[in-house]
Amino acid sequence: MAAVLILSGIWRGLFLQSPQQKTEVSELTKEVGDLKEMVMLSLLEKESATQRLKAVSLTSEMDQASDKVTNALFVALNKDENVNVRLAALEALKPYVSKSDVRKKLIESIDEQASPLVQMALAELMVSIHEKNQ
C-alpha cells in the first residue's frame, strides 16, 4: 500500500502540473534570459578585456539572442580594441549566420577589421557559409 501511495505521489508530481505552474516556469525562464542579457550588455561596457570576454561567453548560455545582443556583439566585433574579444564576438555570432541581417553585417565587418587574425576568421566563416557577396 505504501509503495502505491509513493508511486502515485511521484506520478502526480511529474505529470499533473497545473497550467499556472507551467506559466510560472515559462515566465521565470524568460526573466532569467532577460537577466543574462542585461548582465552581458553591462559587462561589455567594462574596461577589462576579461570582463568583456565573459560577456561574450554569456551569449552561449542564451537560447536565442535578441537584436540588442547581436548588435552588442557586432559592436564588440568591430570596435573592441582587444583582438581576443573580437574573435570571441565572431564566434558568438556564428549560431546566428542563418539570419540575413547578421550575414549582411558580417560582410560589412570585413572592411572594419585591422587585425589579420579577425580578417582570416571572418573569411573562413564566409567560406563555411558559402557567402557569395564578399
Give pLDDT, residue 132. 54
Residue found by looking up cell 579577425 in the block: 118
CATH topology of domain 20-128: Leucine-rich Repeat Variant (1.25.10)
Q: Cα(19)–Cα(91) distance, rounded to whole angstroms?
A: 38
44: enclosing H helix or E strand: none
Kind and range of the H or E run holding 55: helix 49-58
In this prediction, residues 39-57 reach a mean pLDDT of: 89
DSSP 75-108: HHHHH-S-HHHHHHHHHHHGGGTTSHHHHHHHHH
**What residue spans define the domains of the chain?**
20-128
| pTM of the predicted structure, to 2 decimals | 0.74
pLDDT band at 131 (very low <50, low <70, confident <90, very high): low
**Per-residue pLDDT at 35:** 84
Q: Whole-angstrom Cα distance, residue 82 to residue 72?
A: 15
On the question of pLDDT at 133 being above 70, the answer is no
